[in-house]
Amino acid sequence: MMLKTNSGFLISVLKVTTFVALFFSIPSVMGQVKYSNEFLNIGVGARGLGMSNSIVSSSNDVTSGYWNPSNLVNIEDKAQIGLMHASYFAGISNYDYGAVAIPVERGVVGLSVIRFGVDNILNTINFRDPNGNFNYDRITTFSTADYAFLVSYAQKTKIEGLNVGGNFKIIYRQIGDFANAYGFGLDASASYAKNDWKFAVMARDITTTVNAWSYTLDDRTKEVFEETGNEIPKNGTEITLPKLLFGVSKEFTIKETFTVLPEIDFDMYFDGRRPTLISSDAVSIDPHMGLELGYNQFLFVRGGVGNIQKQPSATGGDNEWMVQPNFGVGIRLDNLFGLGNVVLDYALTAIDQTNSSLYSNVFSLRIDVANTKK
């Protein structure tokens, strides 16, 4: 058999491949997968990440297509473009984001594209040739990636300060040539502003989002799955249940030069118990807070705390409460090279709060095209 002798290298690589597969939550049977499409919960834009994702009510630019589509109405430029790149898990995975938002006659439309993937994964299934010899030339590579395409729309209502918006999203998930999935979903949001206070609600996957998986596995691939003790996956679906995000913020101005913007958000899940601050079988609530300090609308310093949960103690004692802090800065350059305003943001953040060495440096760019008022 293939794995009896001199196969330590192969087994190690297969373990890595198996880890990647599990990380991306591959479903093998039809039904609800609790952490389906989790890549859409990471966040976009260094401003939001630096504030621990606490900008559901205070987002005011092209990234609102992700955070809260109703806030796209705050865009007063001819168009806005947003870009972001981040590497997570010590560079193993890459997260890329691009978006554009354009005001139209009755509101604002936007398009956002997200890719979260791991590239250059070694495929050792054909490591041994038909004669039983191990041949490194037969090792190939593949990628596993999740894609999301969000089409957004927002408009003001007849009630002063009240805006509404929504997303239609298409999900595409791929694991090399072995498997892929397509999914479709809807988001809805509303925001209300009065006397410098802002309130917002974002309902993600309001109709539930269903990913339909299909697998293409040849006989050799199935044989390796069996030899390594892995279950052969079957075509099926996974379901992402609705999730509610609530946010409230207020901006304070000091001597017309300094601004202070605190926000607190609450993420509510309805798929059973999660490791959140408030957890029950019916609903789990994850609160997080962010703060932005601004100087003359030019320089911004940000911070936030989130991912509050109880973790087993490293010393074997009682469980410990853990909080993930985030940090960020931003700079706004007005009418740079005649292109319009350019905003550069940086954040120091992580997905895994239990390992500080996995903190990532995230940079994002926003361009306000022509800076033309509507």
Q: Say if CB 204 and CB 243 are below 8 A apart.
A: yes
Indicate which CATH number applies to the domain containing 94: 2.40.160.40
Note whether residue 39 is domain-resident. yes
Note whether residue 159 is domain-resident. yes
Res 27: pLDDT: 45
Note whether residue 272 is domain-resident. yes
Residues 6+ apart with CB under 8 A from 315: none
Domain containing residue 92: 8-369
| pLDDT digits 0-9 by tens, 50-66 | 999 999 999 999 999 99
Note whether residue 374 is domain-resident. no
Note whether residue 68 is domain-resident. yes
Res 315: pLDDT: 66
Neighbours of 18 (CB within 10 A): 14
Spatial distance between the Cα atoms of 271 and 280, rounded to a whole number of angstroms:
10
Spatial distance between the Cα atoms of 23 and 41, rounded to a whole number of angstroms:
14
Query: What is the tally of structural domains in the chain?
Result: 1
Please say if the pLDDT value at position 13 is more than 60: no
Q: What is the mean pLDDT of residues 6-14?
A: 37
Mean pLDDT score of the chain: 84
Kindly give the pairing relationship between strand 197-204 and strand 140-156: unpaired
Note whether residue 285 is domain-resident. yes
Residue type, 201: V
Please say if the pLDDT value at position 348 is more than 50: yes
Note whether residue 3 is domain-resident. no
- Measuring CA to CA, which residue among 144, 177, 178 is closest to residue 25? 144
pLDDT bucket at 18, cuts 50 / 70 / 90? very low
Please say if the pLDDT value at position 194 is more than 80: yes
pLDDT bucket at 131, cuts 50 / 70 / 90? confident
Note whether residue 309 is domain-resident. yes
| pLDDT digits 0-9 by tens, 134-148 | 777 778 888 899 999
Spatial distance between the Cα atoms of 21 and 1, rounded to a whole number of angstroms:
24
Angle at 96 between CA 87 and CA 81, to 5 degrees: 135
